[in-house]
Amino acid sequence: MRVGFTSLASNTLICIKLDVSSEANCDFAFIGTLDNDGVSYDNGYYTRISGTDSVTVEIPVPEAGNHFIEIGYGKDVASDGGSDRAWFEIID
């Protein structure tokens, strides 16, 4: 999912809480790096978590303007574990 936002000032932060319930070390939730169209299974992410975990990250936004971050879930085909889902919250 692409999350778009507008920063009204330079040198700000976007804070995101990410939770996951997945097969540990195989399936994962991720937050991509700022303004990156190239997020893939093995690169381009700011953070990645698996199993039953939660993380809150603050991502630097160096310039004012329109930006986006990709947030998603990657699954292998080996087996199932957990609920096979992720959810996130943008924190003000």
Domain ranges of the chain: 2-91
Instruction: Report the CATH architecture of 2-91.
Output: Sandwich (2.60)
Which residues touch 70 (CB under 8 Å, ≥6 apart)? Answer: 1, 2, 3, 30, 31, 32, 36, 39
Reading the chain (92 residues) residue by residue, the pLDDT tens digits are: 999 999 999 999 999 999 999 988 888 999 999 999 888 767 888 899 999 999 999 999 999 999 999 999 988 776 667 788 899 999 97
Give the DSSP letter of residue 91: E
Contact in structure between 21 and 57 (CB atoms under 8 Å): no
pTM value?
0.86
